[in-house]
Structure 1
Amino acid sequence: MNNTNTDCFVSVILPLYNDSRIITIVVDEIVSILKENYQFYELILINDGSEDDTTEQVEDCLHKYSGLRLINLSRHFGTEIAISSGLDTAIGDFVVILLPDCDPPQLIPELIRQCQDGKDILIGVRKNRLDDPLWMRLGVNLFYWTCQHLLHIPLTKNATQFRVLSRQVVNALTYVPDNYCYLRLLSAYIGYRSQTFTYTPIKRYKKVKKRGLIASINLGLQIIYMNSAHPLRLASYLSILASGFNLLYMFYIVMVYLIKNKVAEGWVTLSMQNAIMFFFISVILGIICEYIGLIFAKSRGWATYYIADEKNSSVFIVERDTYNVVNDSKDIAI
C-alpha cells in the first residue's frame, strides 16, 4: 500500500447505464487501485435505470469486493442526475467522478495527490475530439464560442465528467436545489480553487457511446436557458429593433403621402414588412416559451431523482482491529 495517501477517505462515483459488458472489469480495476493506495474508500455505483443485466453484474461484485455501494434509480434520469445522486450519498474527503466506458482509473492516485496539495476541483479535459464527426466538432466549437464570448457562460472547452472534488465542493454542490443542474458548469459557478488536467479517454467499447444530434441540441439549449439571461436580453433587443423598423416604416408612409400625389398600393413592401415583423415575434415568443417551460417545471416541486433500492458490499473494507471502537471503557474517565 502506498502510505502517502492513507490518511484520507476517497469516494468514487461510477454512473452506469447498460454497462453490463464492462462493469466487472471496471470495478476490478478501480478497487485494485483504491486498495493499493488507500485504507479507507468506497465505490458508489449508480445504476441509472439500465435495461440489461447491469444490476445482476454489480450485485455479484458486491459479494466479491469490499467498499462497494449500489444505488438503483427508479428509472433512467441521465448521467448528470445519476452523478448528483452519488454526490448526495458520498462521504469521502475527496470524491472522484468518472465514466466507466472512457475515463482511465489509473489517474486517480495522482489526481487525489494534487487535491491534497491544495486544489478543490480538478476538471478533466479531452485532449482532442478527433473521434467525433466533423459536424459535431464544428457544432461544439460554435457552441463553446457562443457561450464564452456572447453569453458569458464559463464553460471549460472539451471538459468531461472526469473530475475530483474536495469535501467542501461536494457540500456546496449538494446544497444547490436545482433539478436541472449541469455539474460541469456548476463546478465553475461555486468558485473554490480549480485546475484542469488533460487526458486521453480510453475505449472500452468498439462503438463509443455518442450523444445524438437532437440530444446534443437539447442539452445545449438547456445549458443556455438555465444559466444565462442573455437570450431574454436578445429578445428585448429584437423587440426594440422591430419597433424601430415599424416607426421608420410609419415615417416612410407619411412622407410618401405628403410628397407623392398618387400612391401605389405597395403590396410587396407591405408583405415584406409583415414577414419581418412576424419573424421577430416568433423568435421572441420561442425564447419566452422556453423560459416559461422551465419555470413551470421548477414550480412542480418534483424530486430530482428517486431511488428504487440500495445495497452494500457484504465484505468489510478494513480489518476488524483497525476499527475505531473501544471494547473496554473501564479506564476512560468521563
Structure 2
Amino acid sequence: MSMISVVIPLLNEEQLVKRLLKELWVALEKTGEAFEVICVDDGSTDSTLQQLLKFKEKHEHLKIISLSRNFGLQPALTAGIDYAKGDYVVIMDGDFQDPPDLVPVLFEKIKATGADIVSAVREARNEKFTKRIYINIFHHIFGRLTGGQQVEQTGNFCIINKKAHRAMLQFSERNRYLPGIRNFIGFKHEFILYDRPDRTEGDAKMSRRKLFELAADAIYSFSKWPIRFCLYLGLLGVLIFFAAIVYTFASKILGLAPIGWSSMFLAISFFGSV
C-alpha cells in the first residue's frame, strides 16, 4: 500500500477549512491508500489554527505546522513539502479553488502513466477579470523569458512521486517558486484539465502586491534575462563613460569646455555607469 501526503497552506481560512478537510478526507478514502494531510498555518490571525486542532482530535492523520508569523504562500508550501513522508505528495491551495475531489484523479493518473509529476492545468478560470488578466500576463512573460519551462495555466495543484519529491528538496532558496522548480527538474510530466472555480467563501489572500512579488521571484529565479539586462546596462554605462572621456578631452583641447565642467561631467558619467 502506498502513502499519500497532501500539503495545504492556510491563511485566515476559518470560513472554509472544516468543509475543505471533510471533503478531502472523503476523496482520500476513495483511493484506498494510507494518507496524511499536512496543513501549514501561515500565521493566521483568526480561528483557523483552533479549528485545525479541533479537527485533529478525531482525525489522527492530520498533521499541523503552525508558523510563527505570515511568511507567504511559497515558504508555507515549502515547510509542508519538507515535512511530507508519503510515497506521493499532493500540493494544493487551501482556498477550495483546487477541488479535493480531483486528488484521486491525480493519483490514478500518476499510477496509470508512470509519470513522476502530474499537474492540474486550469482549462477555465472563474475568477475576477482583473486577476485573470494579471495571471495570464505573468504566464506569458514567464514562458517567454524562461524558454517555455513553465506550462501555462498551471499553479501549485499537482502530485509528485518520491523521486520528484527528493529532487525538489534539493533546492534551498529562501523563496522557492515551486511550479518553476517542478518543471525545471525535468522528470516525466503529465497533466489533467480542470475548471478552476472562484472562491465561494472568504477573501483572496494574495493581494496585487503579493502577486507581483511572486512573479518577480519566479522570473529572477528561473530566467537569465534580468541578469543579462543588468550586465548589458552596465556595459552601456561603461561605453558612455569612455565616450565622455574622449569628448571631455576633445572639448578641453579645442577650448570649448567651461571651467570646472570637465570634472563634474566625468564624475556624473562615472557614477552613472556604475
Question: 2-side partners of 1:272 and 1:256: how far apart?
Answer: 12
Is residue 2:2 matched to residue 1:8? yes
Matched residue, 1:47 = 41
Contact 1:9 1:38 in 2 (8 A): no
What do the CA deviations read for 1:226-282 (whole angstroms, capped 9, x no partner)? 344443332221222223234444545566677x7x7475xxxx999988876654x
For 1:46 and 1:140, the matched residues in 2 are separated by: 24
Classify the secondary structure of the residue corresponding to 1:197. strand
Residues 1:121 and 2:117 are matched in the alignment? yes
| Distance verdict in 2 for CA 1:8–1:149, change over 3 Å | same
Q: C-alpha offsets along residues 274-322 of structure 1, whole Å, 9 cap, x if unaligned? A: 88876654xxxxxxxxxxxxxxxxxxxxxxxxxxxxxxxxxxxxxxxxx
TM-score, normalization by structure 1: 0.69
1:29 corresponds to which of 7, 23, 29: 23
Aligned pair 1:56/2:33, yes or no?
no
Q: Distance in 1 between matches of 2:172 and 2:56?
A: 31
SS at match of 1:81: helix
Which residue of the partner structure matches residue 102 of structure 2?
A: 107
2:127/2:197 contact within 8 Å kept: no
> Percent identity at matched positions?
26
Per the alignment, residue 165 of structure 2 pairs with 170
1:212 to 207, 216, 219: 207
Q: What is the rounded CA distance, in whole Å, between the counterparts of 2:94 and 2:189 in structure 1?
A: 23
TM, length-normalised to structure 2: 0.82
Within a 5 Å distance, the mapping from 1:1-334 to structure 2 comes to 7-101=1-95, 102-117=97-112, 118-128=114-124, 131-134=127-130, 136-137=131-132, 139-150=134-145, 152=147, 154-206=149-201, 208-209=203-204, 211-252=206-247, 263=256, 281=274
Q: Give 1:324's aligned residue.
A: none
Contact 2:117 2:160 in 1 (8 A): yes
Q: Is the 8 A contact 1:11 1:96 kept in 2?
A: yes
1:221 Cα shift? 2.5
Post-superposition Cα deviations, 1:61-116, rounded to whole Å, max 9, x if no partner, equal 12333522222222222221222222222222211111121110111112111111
Contact 1:122 1:194 in 2 (8 A): yes
State the Cα deviation string for residues 18-72 of structure 1 (Å, max 9, x = none).
1111111111101111112224122222222211111221222123335222222
Distance 2:166 2:181 in 1: 13
* CA distance 1:151–1:111, shift in 2 (3 Å): closer
Aligned to 1:127, what secondary structure does the other structure show?
A: strand
RMSD over aligned Cα, in angstroms? 3.3
Give unmatched runs, 5+ long, in structure 1.
1-6, 282-334
Q: Quick one: which amino acid aligns to residue 110 of structure 2?
A: C
What displacement does 1:138 show?
Answer: 5.1
Distance 1:41 1:139, change over 3 A: closer
Q: In structure 2, list runs of 5 or more residues that go unmatched.
A: none
Contact 1:49 1:75 (8 Å CA) reproduced = yes
Higher RCO (CA-CA < 8 Å; seq separation 6+): 1
Query: Alpha carbons of 1:220 and 1:69: their partners in 2 closer, same or farther (altered >3 Å)?
Result: same
